[in-house]
Amino acid sequence: MTNTITPFEDIEKQVKQLKRHRMQGYYDIDSVRSNYYYIFDKLGDYDKDDLFCFITLRLKNKVKVKTKINGLYTFKVVKTDYPAVLSVANALTKKITRKFWRRKGRYSNLPMQFSIESNKGWFKEHLHGVIRLKDLKQSYNETEVVDIISDICNNIDEVNSNDDTAVVIHTHPYSEDATNSVAHKIEYICKSSAKLPTIKYNPLIV
């Protein structure tokens, strides 16, 4: 098994591009490829001793937002839009990093990337994330990691903690084999990338 990343050309042969076209209406392979390598640049080469996490997060359709009106703070209910989802991703990045890296997390973040799934022109509920747990201060088994990240996610206001399907987390070694594919999961969160005449969208939070 190689310790370097999986070339996009290997994944390209396996991706059901026609299905992507049917589901999205497009599949801009050049943009997907570019973001695929962007994520691997952040995560680094494979290391089976590190743990890889793939997160799918469904947010509430509407959230409470604190706002100031006539000098007084109040809350208003708004649809879950791009700024709201961006805020969730930024909060998760900080909270997950601080939990696993502790003091080191004050100065840098764990290797991770979040992606916002678009839904007919507005940003409703899907947030995907990939995380490489490396250089940890203590050892965690996969169950402990899932429980820790689930708790962090469910304590975010925009997440419906009463919905058992709101937070889905898959973990496996940060390596590539027939059973667990880091590369396929990374392609998946890049699939809506586009720089086309009619569609321009970058799902990655950069």
* Planar angle of CA 194, 174, 19, nearest 5 degrees: 35
Handedness of CA 180, 53, 23, 187 (dihedral sign): negative
Residue 9 lies in a domain: no
Residue 113 has a pLDDT of 97
For tokens 């640049």, the residue is 41
One digit per residue, the tens of pLDDT, for the chain of length 206 reads 456 899 999 988 888 887 888 778 888 999 999 999 999 999 999 999 999 999 999 888 877 767 777 788 887 777 777 788 888 999 999 999 999 999 898 899 999 999 988 665 545 557 999 999 999 989 999 999 999 999 999 999 888 888 888 899 999 999 998 778 999 999 999 999 999 998 899 999 98
Residue 1 has a pLDDT of 43
Residue 125 has a pLDDT of 58
Residue 129 has a pLDDT of 97
Residue 151 has a pLDDT of 96
Residue 4 lies in a domain: no
Residue 172 has a pLDDT of 95
Question: What total of structural domains would you count in the chain?
Answer: 1
Provide the domain limits for residue 19.
15-201
Residue 10 lies in a domain: no
Residue 103 lies in a domain: yes
